[in-house]
């Protein structure tokens, strides 16, 4: 669902991403681990077309992002680290507005909205203003919004920031189940190792370079570590 090839990006003389390549497969979560300053935000800005890079290539669901930006971005759903819902609109109004931006007819939009809210257990709050929701419920609404147009690729930029433990655990479990059920590819940036499942693909990004890429078991074996936390520390400390 996502193919990144030989991608680099610089802020002036500072190299933020250095010749990175990877793929995100359908039906799986690919977890992007990295400390602050690793290049995760830069990578997401490039995938969402906020930045362009003269070096490298990005394909979303087979569409080249630079050559076919409308087709590529139509296949993309995003949950940002910072909340982006309109607090003074209701849950339903926020979702209808997003559906309209994607050209969904009202009847189809309302059907999908109801399905997503029921699946995320927030259908009883559909008429409430977003500002009355707690952090966990707001995140569920943002996930519903990102999935309304049925994207091929879902980007999650540290979506659990600010959530309490039960809300975070519920969100992690739901996204993993959703990826498998819908055959959607997920690229999930996080710094919380306990959000990674043994079934996930894993990318460790540090100082703009990919230090490891593969299955969780493969990364553990390659680093000779007994835990993912130890493996992550070995990869990032060795690079430092």
Q: What is the pLDDT of residues 32-73, one digit of tens each?
A: 999 888 999 999 999 999 999 889 999 999 999 999 999 999
For CATH 3.40.50.300, the residue range(s) in the chain are 2-75+152-239
Find residue 31's DSSP bridge partners: 188, 202
Q: Are strands 76-79 and 153-157 parallel, antiparallel or unpaired?
A: parallel
Q: What's the rounded Cα separation, in Å, for the pair 240 and 238? A: 5
- Give me the pLDDT at residue 102, please: 92
Mean pLDDT across the chain: 93
Task: State the burial class of residue 224 (Cβ atoms within 10 Å of its Cβ: 0-12, 13-18, 19+).
Answer: exposed
- Give me the pLDDT at residue 211, please: 95
pLDDT > 70: percent of the chain: 99
| Mean pLDDT calculated for residue range 18-37 | 94
Asked if pLDDT for residue 176 goes beyond 80, the answer is: yes
| Mean pLDDT calculated for residue range 156-174 | 85
32 CB-side CA count, 13 A: 28
Q: What is the pLDDT of residues 86-107, one digit of tens each?
A: 999 999 999 999 999 999 999 9
The pLDDT-based confidence of 145 (bands split at 50, 70, 90) is very high
DSSP 28: S
- Give me the pLDDT at residue 240, please: 55
| Mean pLDDT calculated for residue range 117-135 | 93
pTM tops 0.85, yes or no: yes
Q: How many CB atoms lie within 10 A of CB 61?
A: 17
Decide if 25 contacts 215 (C-beta within 8 A): no
| Mean pLDDT calculated for residue range 148-170 | 89
- Give me the pLDDT at residue 239, please: 60
DSSP 171: H
Q: What's the rounded Cα separation, in Å, for the pair 217 and 222? A: 9
Q: What is the pLDDT of residues 210-231, one digit of tens each?
A: 999 999 999 999 999 999 999 9
CATH number for domain 2-75+152-239, candidates 3.40.30.10, 1.10.10.60, 1.10.3720.10, 3.40.50.300: 3.40.50.300
**Backbone phi, psi, residue 37, to 5°:** 85, 10
- Sign of the Cα pseudo-torsion (222, 228, 230, 231, in order): positive
Q: What's the rounded Cα separation, in Å, for the pair 240 and 237? A: 5
Q: What's the rounded Cα separation, in Å, for the pair 100 and 71? A: 17
Asked if pLDDT for residue 185 goes beyond 80, the answer is: yes
């Amino acid at each position: 669902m996502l193919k990144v090839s030989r991608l680099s990006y610089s802020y002036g003389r500072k190299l933020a991403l250095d010749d990175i390549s990877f793929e995100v497969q359908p039906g799986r979560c690919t977890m992007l681990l990295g400390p602050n300053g690793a290049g995760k935000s830069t990578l997401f800005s490039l995938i969402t077309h906020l930045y362009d890079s003269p070096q490298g290539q990005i394909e979303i669901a087979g569409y080249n992002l630079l050559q076919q930006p409308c087709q590529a971005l139509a296949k993309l759903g995003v949950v940002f680290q910072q909340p982006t819902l309109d607090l003074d609109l209701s849950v339903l109004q926020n979702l209808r507005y997003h559906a309209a931006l994607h050209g969904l007819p009202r009847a189809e939009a309302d059907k999908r909205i109801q399905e997503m809210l029921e699946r995320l257990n927030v259908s009883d709050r559909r008429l409430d203003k977003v500002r009355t929701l707690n952090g966990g419920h707001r995140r569920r609404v943002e996930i519903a919004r990102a999935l309304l147009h049925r994207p091929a690729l879902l980007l999650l930029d540290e979506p659990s920031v600010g959530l309490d433990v039960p809300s975070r655990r519920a969100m992690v479990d739901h996204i993993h189940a959703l990826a498998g059920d819908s055959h959607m590819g997920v690229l999930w940036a996080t710094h919380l190792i306990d959000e990674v499942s043994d079934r996930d693909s894993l990318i460790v990004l540090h100082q703009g370079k990919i230090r490891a890429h593969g299955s969780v078991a493969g990364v553990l074996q390659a680093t000779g570590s007994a835990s993912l936390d130890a493996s992550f520390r070995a990869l990032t400390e060795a690079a430092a």
